[in-house]
């Protein structure tokens, strides 16, 4: 039997997603020891629906947000995800279950029944892996499904990240600020842990990443994150160009506007100097190495 794990899901006004989400978690061949759903002040009936569902499922718990949602995304979401993961770990231990893994599952994702059995099994088989995820597939422009762009096999997806608890402890828990998922990957690597995204473990998403409030708003937020993390300006421009290659091109505009807004306001940056140095210096070198590898070998480098 694969090792025990816990999951945490933040929810705000996701009533339309909840039946599919619950069916996905309940249908896992290897179900979580505890699934904590944190309601972030929903006004559409999500909280009532979740509490009715949890009443007949001992492995599911619904909790309120520990802070008011003064901002829906950004640092607020990082902090409530951190709180939900910590609560899930405490809840499992209160039932005398010691989780080996702890993860985040976003409400718009629906892992197939074999997902966590396969993911935990692979992490069990390789103790050096500290954080892992599957591959995200989103709705395509023509109504079909397509693999989301820019997924790297060494950078697990934030909405699906599953951490070895020892890895999570070594990085001080989920980072409580914007871009937490990328920062968690970076810190795990710096602490000597391997990171893995498994392209054959496909998880469907009900909407493309960062588009809940429209592509412009979502990618504008990504631009704010790029400033916060001190991403090198060369990569800011490269990302803008990459986003502009395909529609909707307002993704590229939103990203550049967000970065420029933060730069113009001199918005405070990430307080972790180690993380900022990585995004400013090492991340550009990584991309240069990957591009050079693709030019020399014609392969896909580190991209899924």
Q: Which of 16-20, 22-26, 208-212, 281-285 is predicted least confidently? A: 208-212
CA distances from 204 to 55, 102, 136, 200, 201 (A): 27, 21, 6, 12, 10
d(CA 135, CA 147): 8
d(CA 109, CA 26): 14
Q: How confident is the model at residue 45 (pLDDT cuts 50, 70, 90)?
A: very high
Label residues 229-249 b or e (16+ Cβ within 10 Å = b).
bbbbeebbeebbeebeeeebe
pLDDT at 242: 86
Model confidence pLDDT, tens digit, residues 124-133: 999 999 999 9
Provide φ and ψ at 38, rounded to 5°: -100, 120
CATH code for the structural domain at 5-205: 3.90.550.10
Handedness of CA 259, 264, 270, 276 (dihedral sign): positive
d(CA 273, CA 280): 10
Domain boundaries, the chain: 5-205, 215-297
Model confidence pLDDT, tens digit, residues 179-217: 899 999 999 999 999 999 999 999 999 877 766 667 788
Arithmetic mean of pLDDT, 96-105:
98
Tokens coding 296: 């020399």
Residue of 177, 8, 185 lying closest to 86 (CA atoms): 8
What does the longest C-alpha to C-alpha distance in the chain come to? 58
Model pTM?
Answer: 0.90
d(CA 246, CA 240): 11
């Amino acid at each position: 039997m694969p090792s025990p794990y816990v999951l945490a899901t933040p929810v705000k006004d996701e009533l339309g997603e909840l039946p599919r989400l619950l069916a996905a978690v309940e249908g896992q061949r290897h179900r979580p020891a505890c699934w904590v759903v944190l309601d972030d002040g929903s006004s559409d009936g999500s909280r009532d629906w979740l509490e009715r569902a949890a009443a007949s499922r001992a492995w599911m718990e619904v909790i309120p947000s520990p802070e008011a949602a003064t901002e829906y995304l950004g640092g607020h979401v990082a902090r409530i995800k951190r709180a939900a993961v910590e609560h899930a770990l405490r809840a499992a231990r209160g039932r005398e279950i010691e989780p080996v893994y702890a993860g985040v599952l976003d409400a718009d994702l629906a892992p197939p029944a074999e997902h966590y059995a396969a993911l935990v099994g692979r992490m069990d088989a390789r103790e050096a892996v500290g954080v892992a995820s599957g591959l995200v597939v989103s709705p395509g422009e023509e109504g079909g499904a397509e693999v989301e762009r820019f997924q790297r096999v060494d950078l697990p997806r934030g909405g699906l990240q599953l951490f070895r608890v020892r890895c999570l402890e070594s990085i001080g828990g989920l980072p409580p600020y914007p871009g937490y998922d990328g920062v968690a990957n970076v810190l795990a690597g710096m602490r000597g842990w391997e990171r893995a995204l498994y392209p054959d473990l496909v998880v469907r998403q009900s909407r493309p990443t960062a588009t809940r409030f429209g592509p412009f708003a979502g990618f504008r937020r990504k631009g704010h994150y790029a400033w916060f993390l001190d991403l090198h300006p060369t990569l800011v421009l490269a990302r803008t160009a990459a986003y502009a290659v395909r529609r909707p091109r307002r993704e590229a505009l939103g990203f550049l506007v967000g970065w420029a807004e933060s730069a113009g306001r001199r918005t405070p940056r990430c307080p972790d100097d180690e993380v900022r140095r990585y995004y400013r210096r090492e991340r550009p070198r990584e991309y240069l190495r990957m591009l050079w590898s693709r030019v020399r070998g014609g392969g896909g480098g580190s991209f899924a």
